[in-house]
Amino acid sequence: MKTPLALLTEFLRFPSISTQPEHAPDLEACAEWLHALLSEIGLAATVYPTPGSPVVVAGSPHDPAKRTVLIYGHYDVQPPEPLEGWATPPFEPRIEDGRIYARGAADNKGQILAHILGVAETLREKGSLPVNVIFLIEGEEEIGSPNLAEFLTEHRSDLTCDLVAISDTAMAPGNRPALTYALRGIAALEVIVRGPARDLHSGLFGGALANPATVVARLIASLHDDEGHVRIPGFYDAVRTLAGWERDAAANLEAVSGGDEAIKHLAGVTELVGEKGFTTIERIGARPTAEVNGIGGGYQGAGTKTVLPSHAFAKLTFRLVADQDPAVILNAAEEYLRSQTPPGVLLEIITGHSGSAYQSDPNSPDGLAARKALEGAFGAEPLLLRDGGSIPILASIKEILGVDSYLLGLANPDSRIHSPDENMVVENFLGGIRMNRILLEELASIS
């Protein structure tokens, strides 16, 4: 068997970009690579085709006397662009100063591979596992898992388990171990504003009709008031307030994490801006937001071109918290945006992927087992986090398989996931292998 780092390097060489159709063969090759590895370590592995990227499932022999943990991960990655932001090419892994740099290093290849290698080590040393293990590794997480809920429903009986363990989140600031007990949900929406039948001369027509790019800018501006609150009527209606212990956990995190200065540093900004009345940690973990992910329209080339664009667009996502319903939010957003659209243009709205927020109990027996595993592997008591990112399938897992998911993040907070120069601290990867081994033991000791 190759060394953990050699395996990670191989895994990272696949440009398994789920959002770009031309990479479908790379996703398939990556799934096959996982299949070979999971088979080599002694699990019964299968690659299942779906209408999108394949799903890889692998399991240890099922012992009905043991508990079962399903370990979820994803082998797809975000696009690496902008390429000029990378010091070295995104699919040619580089190790420097104790970190491995490549697209997918932390999100999620390094993290899921740590679990696979933890299981491999235990099997090699002991010949069997203390709990039954099922790996479920998908290739469409970064596009909202469009085929996974159906897969879970179809394969439900093969995926029966007591809990789900996932390492697809980050450690706390300062690279301290953390159990993430809440993730935000998401709802995506694209707005297209159509005006004149074709791009027009901005001198001959400027001043006489609505400019779609201006309309898009005004629509975006209308999303927030001056205090950073989202102006969509009803947006906050279902938002759950924090329990006492959660406020304590947030205060504890604030105290040890370097506060706003650390977040400014991570983001590379000089000021933090957001909803009035909440701390930064609350804004990221416990409050819903409306964000613009992309905006376009009109001339984008070199120099100037005097046109009125025929159309313009914005790509939006809302981050949601319990108990907001993505469908309700998308409807409210559409209605609000229509109400803000001036006459003379056509508003087209395309809704995209969505998923509810997810929360599990860090004080449940499995939550405590997860915390012990993190502490054992990383030598410090884990903090409890609400993280701002989303893993939309978690709500479906709860619905379809009826079990809770525990998030044992291994990414360093400065891992730059989704950004150029994504990286993972090698010690987090190796610690993740130890963490998996302790986790399986701890889970086995729960009756």
User: Which residues of the shown chain bind ligand BES in the complex (CB under 6 A)?
Assistant: 107-108, 141-142, 144, 168-170, 183, 186, 353, 387, 389-392, 417
DSSP state of 418: T
Nearest-approach distance from CB 361 to Zn ion, in angstroms: 25
- By the rule CB under 5 A, 138 interacts with Zn ion: no
CB contact at 8 A, 180 and 285? no
Nearest-approach distance from CB 91 to ligand BES, in angstroms: 17
Nearest-approach distance from CB 417 to Zn ion, in angstroms: 6
Nearest-approach distance from CB 409 to ligand BES, in angstroms: 6
186 binds, among ligand BES, Zn ion, none (CB under 5 to 8 A by kind): ligand BES
- The number of residues that bind Zn ion (CB under 5 A) is 1
Closest to Zn ion by CB, 107 vs 404, is 107
Burial 42-58 (b: 16+ CB within 10 A, else e): bbebebeebebbbbbbb
127: left (phi over 0), alpha (psi -120 to 50) or beta: left
**Amino acid letter, residue 183:** L
CB-based contacts of 324, cutoff 8 Å, min separation 6: 185, 238, 239, 288, 356, 357
Helix (H, G, I), strand (E, B) or coil at 292: strand
- By the rule CB under 5 A, 422 interacts with Zn ion: no
The interface region with Zn ion, picked from 100-108, 153-161, 179-187, 403-411 by CB under 5 A, is 100-108
Nearest-approach distance from CB 107 to Zn ion, in angstroms: 4
Closest to ligand BES by CB, 129 vs 374, is 374
Nearest-approach distance from CB 268 to ligand BES, in angstroms: 17
Nearest-approach distance from CB 352 to ligand BES, in angstroms: 9
Q: Which of residues 268-297 bind Zn ion (CB under 5 A)?
A: none
**Closest CA relative to residue 167, chosen from 152, 177, 159:** 177
170 binds, among Zn ion, ligand BES, none (CB under 5 to 8 A by kind): ligand BES
Q: Is the peptide bond before 108 cis (omega within 30 degrees of 0)?
A: yes
Closest to Zn ion by CB, 131 vs 143, is 143
> Order of strands, edge to edge, in the sheet holding 99-101?
94-96, 99-101, 423-425
DSSP state of 106: I
DSSP state of 88: S
How many degrees, rounded to 5, is the angle at CA 109 between CA 103 and CA 113? Answer: 155
Closest to Zn ion by CB, 141 vs 404, is 141
Shortest-Cβ-distance residue relative to Zn ion:
107
391 binds, among ligand BES, Zn ion, none (CB under 5 to 8 A by kind): ligand BES
Closest to ligand BES by CB, 290 vs 307, is 290
- By the rule CB under 5 A, 107 interacts with Zn ion: yes
Q: What distance in Å separates the CA atoms of residue 241 and residue 322, rounded to the nearest whole number? A: 9
Q: Which positions lie near Zn ion, rule CB under 5 A?
A: 107
